[in-house]
Chain A
Amino acid sequence: MKDSNGAIKRMMIILSKGTLENVYAAFVLANGARMEGIDAEIFFTFFGLEAVHKKKLDHLHVATVGNPAMHIPTMLGGLPGMEALASTMMKKEMEKIDMPDVPEFLEILTASGVKLWACKLAMDMFHYTKDDLYEGVEDVITVGDYYNKSAGEGVHMLFI
């Protein structure tokens, strides 16, 4: 702490969920770090991989079941079309506050120097190959690789 004064130098984010609200949380945190001059990297694992899967990244939904903050009764949230409806509404609100959609956000992140990594174990589990992924993803790596990349002073890890 002597030189850095405890300042954050790099955010190592792990995104394990594929719901729109969690993906946005990871993206906003990574982008917000870069805007403050802090480095940022994201490790996509399990359902988080959907955010960088070419065919899926533009079709992410918010969770309407098991999310009390949505204020939709669980029984209704489970009805067909509810997730799509809630997602469309959320996307409209996002556009109003100048929030980019997932494909555009990925472009912003890579242009801003955020490094994107895919988890090897999850890739194997879902039978994805590197070709399935958004081209801005640097590489498919193991959790051990990600820890090694996280070495250094002022580095913080965040699991979403």
Chain B
Amino acid sequence: MDKIIEGKKITVNEEGFLKDFSEWDKSVAEAIAAEEEIVLTPRHWEVLEYLQEQHKSEVALSIRRIGKSGVLDIKEFYQLFPKAPLKTATKIAGIPKPASCI
């Protein structure tokens, strides 16, 4: 599935997750965030960068890991990304949806 963001063609899966991280940049993140009705603040960016780092080091992401990250607690995670935080945040960060139940 292709999607045009800021004039650039981006390939996403049926749930809207980027298929290729090299197509990701901050304007792509902002466009996906806008679709999720989120305005990205500096705090959001810190969390997105953390998620990208974790993904790069091949750490499986879960709500529990977020709580233990030292970056933010679970409550704040739900405040920043109120609807399905892990799913929404990873989508904005341009990384795959975590296959976690916890």
Contacts and interface: CB of A to CB of B under 8 A. Distances in A.
Contact of B78 (A98, A99, A107, A113): A113
Contact of A108 (B60, B63, B83, B86): B63
Q: How would you classify the secondary structure of chain B's contact residues: helix, strand, loop or mixed?
A: helix
A111 B83 contact: no
Contacts of A112: 63, 74-75, 78
B102 A100 contact: yes
Nearest to B65: A98
Interface string A87-110: 000000000001110001001100
Interface string B49-76: 0000000000010111101000001110
Interface residues of A, number: 16
A108 B64 contact: yes
The contact size tier of chain B is 20 to 34
A98 B83 contact: no
A28 B84 contact: no
Contacts of A107: 67
B19 interface: no
B44 interface: no
Interface of B: 60, 62-65, 67, 73-75, 78, 82-88, 100-102
Interface of A: 28, 31-32, 34-37, 98-100, 104, 107-108, 111-113
